[in-house]
Structure 1
Amino acid sequence: MVETYKKWYSPHLSADFELLTFGESGYPIVLFPTSMGRYYEPKDFKLLESVEQFVDAGKVKIYCVDSIDKLSWYNKNISPADRIRNHIWYDQLILKELAPIARQETGKGKIITAGCSFGGYHAANFAFRHPWLVSHLFSMSGIFDIRGQLDGFYNDDAYFNNPIDFLPHDQNRELWNMKIVLGTTDRDPCRPDNEKLSTTLTGKGIDHWLDIRENADHDWPIWREMFPAYISQL
């Protein structure tokens, strides 16, 4: 695979931002790492290796982005309101800095979001917040209720970054055009979140695939099976 390291100063984060890209053409996939993970995590855990054939064939170009979870959702040294505010700056970085680059480099009008575990939250939250920009969502063992990171605090910013809350009331027509996959397993602690979100989508008449894998844990081996299976559907 053609691998490229990118780094730039982000005005939204007021800090440098790093990522790895894999491939040269195809559908642009923004791949989020797991909780507090770095941009090189999917490579280190061989998630990229599992989809190498699709990258080399020019079907997808994958953007492995860094996270700022240590400064946002997992930062217990600041108030919950500030945690959310930091996340919103991250969301704006993906929206206004990375997405335009991915669209320009691939010539595609929309992006795909994907992620495992807490990366599944990021993928889903971004997709549901900006459905006009996202053609496909591939969540693998994601969570969709962020309230556990807020120590009981809740405000409008929390609401609009908590898919399990804002999605039932969202009537953006682009939601019905998105291809959505919610991957989970029979032993996945995040399975209830996936089933609850699936029920919400079904209630809204939004087509999706709730993929529950048997005899599997919340871990990289099953995600290395899910990711190529989902990309093969493109």
Structure 2
Amino acid sequence: MKEAYHKWYSPNLQEEAELLVFGYAGRPVILFATSMGRYYEAKDRGLIDSVQWFIDNGDITVYCPSNIDHRSWYNKEIAPAERALAQQSYDQFILEEVYSRATAETGRRDIITAGCSFGGYHAANFGLRHPDITQAILSMSGIFDISSFTDGYLDDTVYYNNPMAFLRDDNHPDLWNLKLTLGTTWADSCLEQNQRLGGILEQKKIPHWLDIRGDQPHDWPIWKQMFPHYISTL
């Protein structure tokens, strides 16, 4: 399996960024790490191995960036407004630095976003904010309401980085073209969040698949089952 490592200074993050890329052709998949996760997490946890067939077959190229959760939503040392601004800088980093690399390398403009747990938040947040460049969103045990990270504070930046909030009022026509999968289980700690987002999608008649399977806990074994299955449906 072809693997490449990239490191550069990010003007959006104002720090060095690192990225692992798996594959040589096909549709780009931006795979977000879990809470405060690093770029190598998906490889170390076996999530990349679970989709190796698709990578080797030239169907997908997977881009694994680190996140900056420790500087944004999880950073209790700064005010909620600053946490939201940090998240906004991460969105710009993905758009201007990771997405641009992915499209240049693969020649494909439309992407798949994917992630587990808090990575599911990032996948949904980026994909729903940029439906014009996103073909599919694959969230596995994701959370979608970040109000618990804002201490009751609300401004436009918080609102537009909270999928459970902004999606209700968003009528971008490309939302109805997304292939949106919400994977969860009956024992998942994020089950209720997935059901709530699924309810909003249902009310707006946005096509989606709320996949509630089994009673496995919120952990890597079920995600390694979900990810290749969801990729196969595309």
Name 2:96's counterpart in structure 1. Answer: 96
Runs of 5+ consecutive residues of structure 1 not aligned to the other structure = none
1:222 shift after superposition: 0.2
Equivalence map 1:216-227=2 (5 Å): 216-227=216-227
Name 1:18's counterpart in structure 2. Answer: 18
Name 1:201's counterpart in structure 2. Answer: 201
Name 1:135's counterpart in structure 2. Answer: 135
CA offsets per residue over residues 101-147 of structure 1, 9 Å max, x none?
A: 10111111211100000000000000111110100000000000001
How far apart in 2 are the matches of 1:114 and 1:207?
A: 17
Name 1:162's counterpart in structure 2. Answer: 162
Counterpart residue identity of residue 217, structure 1: P
Counterpart residue identity of residue 158, structure 2: A
Question: SS state of the match for residue 6, structure 2?
Answer: strand
Equivalence map 1:149-188=2 (5 Å): 149-188=149-188
Runs of 5+ consecutive residues of structure 2 not aligned to the other structure = none
Question: SS state of the match for residue 70, structure 1?
Answer: coil
Counterpart residue identity of residue 159, structure 1: Y
Q: TM-score when scaled to structure 2?
A: 0.99
Aligned length: 234
How far apart in 1 are the matches of 2:151 and 2:233?
A: 39
Moved over 2 A (4+): none
1:215 shift after superposition: 2.1
CA RMSD of aligned residues (A): 0.7
How far apart in 2 are the matches of 1:88 and 1:37?
A: 18
2:21–2:63 Cα contact (<8 Å) kept: yes
CA offsets per residue over residues 142-170 of structure 1, 9 Å max, x none?
A: 00000111122111111111111110110
Name 2:116's counterpart in structure 1. Answer: 116
Counterpart residue identity of residue 26, structure 1: G
How far apart in 1 are the matches of 2:202 and 2:215?
A: 26
Q: TM-score when scaled to structure 1?
A: 0.99
